[in-house]
């Protein structure tokens, strides 16, 4: 089942960090710049490798979008899929939708029994630290396979442009 390695205080189990919490994936470089279209378009995707989670844990997702131009609205959504594609992707959250030039948001999900639960996807908010009358939403998150977390933007006017400037996935087990 692999080799456990202790390197200067770090600890890897089967090649995956066992430090708690730990960064699964991070990008502080601009993703794909989205312009010339009003379709929902991937700007950045980050991979949660298979077996990052075993039975249960917490997945924290953080991102920032910036927009250039003020002709239309900006919508930023987060999805999960088994590939880095929006086709067939499952919506995890809507960070913002409005006449914004800056959208930065965070979500904390529970991973349990091959499912992921969090604040209802109908909540268009930057933070899920809320007290609501809606039950959490739930969808499949098979931990034994690769899962892609997709950060997508949608422009209200194709002449504007938007980009995911940074995104981060953190694991708590």
Partner 1 sequence: MNITTIQNGFNFNNADYLFEGEIEVISESQCHVPTNNGIILLDLTCTINDVDYTDINLFVEALKS
Which positions touch partner 1 (CB under 8 A)?
Answer: 38-40, 79, 82, 86-91, 121, 137-140, 154
Whichever of 86 and 173 has its CB closer to partner 1, that residue is: 86
Q: Pairing state of beta strands 74-81 and 161-172?
A: unpaired
Give CA–CA dist 108/92, Å, rounded.
11
Give CA–CA dist 124/109, Å, rounded.
16
Whichever of 155 and 166 has its CB closer to partner 1, that residue is: 155
What's the min distance (Å) between Cβ of 116 and partner 1? Answer: 9
What's the min distance (Å) between Cβ of 114 and partner 1? Answer: 12
CB atoms within 10 A of CB 97: 15
What's the min distance (Å) between Cβ of 90 and partner 1? Answer: 4
What's the min distance (Å) between Cβ of 72 and partner 1? Answer: 13
Whichever of 69 and 156 has its CB closer to partner 1, that residue is: 156
For the residues of 100-157, what is the DSSP string, one character each? -SEEEEEEEEEEETTEEEES-TT-B-SB-----SSPPEEEE--TTS-EEEEEEEEESS
Whichever of 40 and 60 has its CB closer to partner 1, that residue is: 40
């Amino acid at each position: 089942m692999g080799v456990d390695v202790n390197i200067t205080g770090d600890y890897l189990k089967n090649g995956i960090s066992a430090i708690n919490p730990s960064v699964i994936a991070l990008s502080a470089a601009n993703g794909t710049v989205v312009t010339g279209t009003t379709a929902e378009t991937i700007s950045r995707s980050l991979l949660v490798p298979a077996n990052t989670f075993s039975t249960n844990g917490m997945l924290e997702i953080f991102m920032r979008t910036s927009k250039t131009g003020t002709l239309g609205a900006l919508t930023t959504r987060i999805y999960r899929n088994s590939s880095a594609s929006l086709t067939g992707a499952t919506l995890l959250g809507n960070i913002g939708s409005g006449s914004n030039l800056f959208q930065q948001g965070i979500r904390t999900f529970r991973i349990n029994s091959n499912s992921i639960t969090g604040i209802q996807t109908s909540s268009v908010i930057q933070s899920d630290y809320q007290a609501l009358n809606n039950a959490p939403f739930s969808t499949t998150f098979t931990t034994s396979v690769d899962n892609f977390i997709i950060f997508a933007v949608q422009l209200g006017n194709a002449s504007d442009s938007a980009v995911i400037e940074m995104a981060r996935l953190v694991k708590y087990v």
